Structure 1
Amino acid sequence: MQVFFIVGAQKSGSSWLQKSLNSIEGIHCLGEGHFIDKLLMPMAQSLHEYNKMMQVVEQRVYEGKGFYGPVPDQEFMMTMRNWILSMMVRNAKVPQNSILAIGDKTPANSFHIPTLKKLFPRCRFIHLLRDGRDVAVSAYRHRNRIQAETGQTGTSLDDAAPQLLATWAGCTRAIRKAEMAGIPIHTMRYEAMLDNSAASLRGCVNHLLPQNSISDQQILAAIDANSFQVLSGGRAAGTINENSNLRRGQAGSWKDEFSPAVAEQFNPEDRELLESLGYTA
């Protein structure tokens, strides 16, 4: 059973990839488990405090001859690994022996790739990369929709865009840093998946399961089941619905949503990252 993690900035299209992979028999990608940021990290802090307390007890109560030593890191990591895997398998809701690959797509995983690799040495990573400017637009519209539901008002897109792009850049840099440290990561571009969904999804499947017998027909069926038109309830890509999580389904939407001056407000390092990845005007 191959464990895998989808990484990439929020609003990069990871839900689309998750659902597409999840539609292929034997592959299960369950959404956002937040295993590291909401489970392992708080538990690690609790473990640190526990070990610290036990050292005090040993010295003050048992004069250096206490019964309980600190919990070793190896034991903690093994426990977390088993717990996380158990949750993933349980929520797949299928017999374990039918699972070829099982994954999670929490965006925060982008910052915890070395920890995930330590937990699951054989795990694989897929980086869903999208033009940071489109990510900024999508994130802004998503935030606006949530604020509207609670009666809040926010800043304009032009004012919010530099910070939203910086968030994308921070996530992207963390993934590139892990890759440069020697962790293999398969990068799939959102724009490529729009242009040639079959080849892009096939590349992901072959990365997860190099010796797979998944047919082209299965790949195409997964693509058809998760097209923008199907997932949006019948809208063609480019038809905007401000109230939907699937708002537009296009690449390059920033061109007609930003004002021309916004790019000049971007952090120079973030603009350089965009250009290094081929995302130019």
Structure 2
Amino acid sequence: MRRRGERPLGRTPTLASILAELRDKGVRPKFIYTIPTVQNPSATIMGVERRQKMLDLARKYGVPIFEDDCYAELIWEGSRPPTIRSMDREGQVIYCGTFSKTIAVALRVGYVVADWPVLRRLMPLKTDGGCGALEQMALAEYCPEHYAGHVDELRRILKGKYDVMTGAMAEQFGASAEFAQQQGGIYLWVTLPDSVDTDKLAQIAGAQGVAVNPGSDWSADPDAGRHRIRLCFGHASHQQIRDGVARLADICHGEFGVPQRGANVER
């Protein structure tokens, strides 16, 4: 992002000061990008009050918000918050969604919701020939009668896999791994001790058949994510999750000496 002249805005509480700083320098950001519902990789859900504050700041400084809501259907606990787009009355928000997270990964069909002055500028920039007509027709046939039931079942399945993943992490890593309780998503954001370099861990684990995402790849500040990993449980079976976490714990212990215990056994 920095190589392209983009600047991550970080957490919402710092947004006002950063926008003010840029204004004083005569710079107006192109947009504010956010995944407010089941954020990637933290899986956090932004509260309504913070959504309103972000929208107010966007209006104050004349910066559009690009709201990426690709994971919003994957909430298995609590109610889905209103979109920032639904709170907008001035055309400040560009909203996008997708069916690739809910129906099929290979189904690369998404959509944008925005006021016409924005859409008419976006449409000429689409250079891939458009989404396939067959996929769109299949979705149009499937969704009215089947989509809601399918998503309900998907949530149940993902919640089960999340429980298996968190249980396996607690069993194999114990207090060496920290993670927050989640209300949705397909991934777990884990913090390991400072002695663990997750860039190195991901490389070694990958060579041994255990795929994890190093935190540096998912952080605006790579150094801040150096001791974190993103574990995806969306596709794996329950047994694959248990086996993978156990193997990851063994690899981590072999390279960094943690965790010292796993499944109540001293390593």
Q: TM-score normalized by structure 1?
A: 0.30
Find the structure with the greater CA-based Rg.
1
User: RCO (CA 8 Å, sep 6+): is it higher in 1 or 2?
Assistant: 1
